[in-house]
Amino acid sequence: MEVYLSENAFVGLLVSTIEVYRRECLGILLGHREPDRIMVDFAVPYQAARRKFQEVHMDWHRSQRVEEAVHTTSRWELVGDYHSHPMYGDKKSTTKLSGVDQKDFRDEGTSIIVAINDGHRKQRWGYVKGGLISGGVNGYAIRMAAYHKEGETLVRVPLVCPYAVGFMAKTKGPTPVEIRPE
Ligand SMILES: [Zn+2]
């Protein structure tokens, strides 16, 4: 089992996480399921997340309503959810699931955790040990991990995103061509 992020989903996760930093964001993942992987096509932020100290919580009734709306209007399915773990004070955040995250984990569900910290140096995007994706954007250090629950077992599964890994190369793309008036 692995979780595959499209360009849209990757950018959606980044924007959602950075927009509300240092608060937490929460949203749903739309895409489709294949036998051995979950394809995530879009990340859609939730406007109203119930916030507790350091944690955001998903309201599953709301989520069911959204799931039905998505099902009726598109070819996507609701394949999971995501939330961010922002740096808190001087305390660096990680992609580890908190106790509450584990307790709230949906049966047969998939979750992506995005850890965001202040970062200084430019950091190349790439895969890191344990199936995580890591990199830097405009002074933020970002790390993403995917988790999946099968039966009673909660496991971290590889997160795959060719777009993210090509990110640095892309920023060094062709030089712009100046358009001169005739
Ligand atoms: Zn969490």
Q: Ligand 1 centroid to 106 CA: how many Å?
A: 13
User: Does the structure show a pLDDT above 50 at 53?
Assistant: no
Q: Ligand 1 centroid to 82 CA: how many Å?
A: 9
Cα-based angle 92, 111, 158 (whole degrees, multiple of 5): 85
Q: Is 9 helix (H, G, I), strand (E, B) or coil?
A: helix
Average pLDDT for the chain = 86
pTM of the model: 0.86
Q: Is 169 helix (H, G, I), strand (E, B) or coil?
A: helix
Q: Ligand 1 centroid to 112 CA: how many Å?
A: 9
Q: Ligand 1 centroid to 85 CA: how many Å?
A: 6
**Confidence band for 108, pLDDT divided at 50, 70 and 90:** confident
Q: Per residue in 2-47, pLDDT tens?
A: 999 999 999 999 999 999 998 899 899 999 999 999 999 999 988 7
Q: Ligand 1 centroid to 13 CA: how many Å?
A: 15
Domain boundaries, the chain: 2-171
112 is written with which tokens?
A: 């992506």
Q: Per residue in 130-174, pLDDT tens?
A: 899 999 998 999 999 999 998 889 999 999 999 998 765 554 545
- Amino acid identity, residue 157? V
Q: Ligand 1 centroid to 101 CA: how many Å?
A: 5
Q: Ligand 1 centroid to 28 CA: how many Å?
A: 14
**Confidence band for 54, pLDDT divided at 50, 70 and 90:** low
Architecture per CATH, domain 2-171, reads as 3-Layer(aba) Sandwich (3.40)
Q: Which long-range contacts (CB under 8 A, 24 or more apart) does 58-67 make?
A: 58/26, 58/104, 58/106, 60/106, 63/28, 66/28
Q: Ligand 1 centroid to 86 CA: how many Å?
A: 9
Q: Ligand 1 centroid to 177 CA: how many Å?
A: 45
Three-state secondary structure string covering 60-101 = HHHHHHHHHHHHHHCCCEEEEEEEEEECECCECCCCCCCHHH
